[in-house]
Amino acid sequence: MFYRVHQFIQAFFPQIDPAEIKWAMDFLSPEAGLLFLKQSRSEQRHALDVTQCILENRPAVSYFEFQNLLTAALLHDCGKSIVFIRLWQRVFIVLMQKMPQPLWSFLETSQTIFASPLKIAARHAFWGECLARKAGLNPEICLLIREHHAPQTELGCILARADNAH
């Protein structure tokens, strides 16, 4: 519960050291850097936290896979940048992640104000994959972005664990 309160406060007041942005921009290709910068400040903070988690728990993967994983961590929520998400919608999405899937499905297909944030949550990974592909990122990074909520690969599972931890 404390973690969720901290997450809520960070959404209001995301603190990002300029050195963190510089590191991300130096690490990412110019095209990927633009995708990172288009994310909201709170999404950038989250992406940096997920990336830091992966760095601290370096998985036993090849150098190339690790580079792809870090890039995907920085961009995994870039699909959210194509729509404006209000803070109450972000909070609602986080709360709904712990609810039974039938309730999520019912609300997502309803004609209520709750449908829109759930549709965004359900589709942002696909949108992110499309943005990454359009930016010319390699297919492995695009796949990781697409599967970060429903991992099918070892790297996808690593990204999902880091994402869920932050």
**DSSP string for residues in 9-72:** HHHHS----HHHHHHHHHHS-HHHHHHHHHS-HHHHHHHHHHHHHHHHT--S--HHHHHHHHHH
Q: pLDDT (tens digit, 0 to 9) for every residue of the chain, 166 residues total? A: 565 566 666 666 778 999 999 999 999 999 999 999 999 998 999 999 999 999 999 999 999 999 999 999 999 999 999 888 787 888 888 787 777 888 878 888 888 888 888 888 888 999 999 999 999 999 999 999 999 999 999 999 999 999 988 8
Q: Which domains does the chain have, with CATH numbers?
A: 31-81+122-165 (1.10.3210.10)
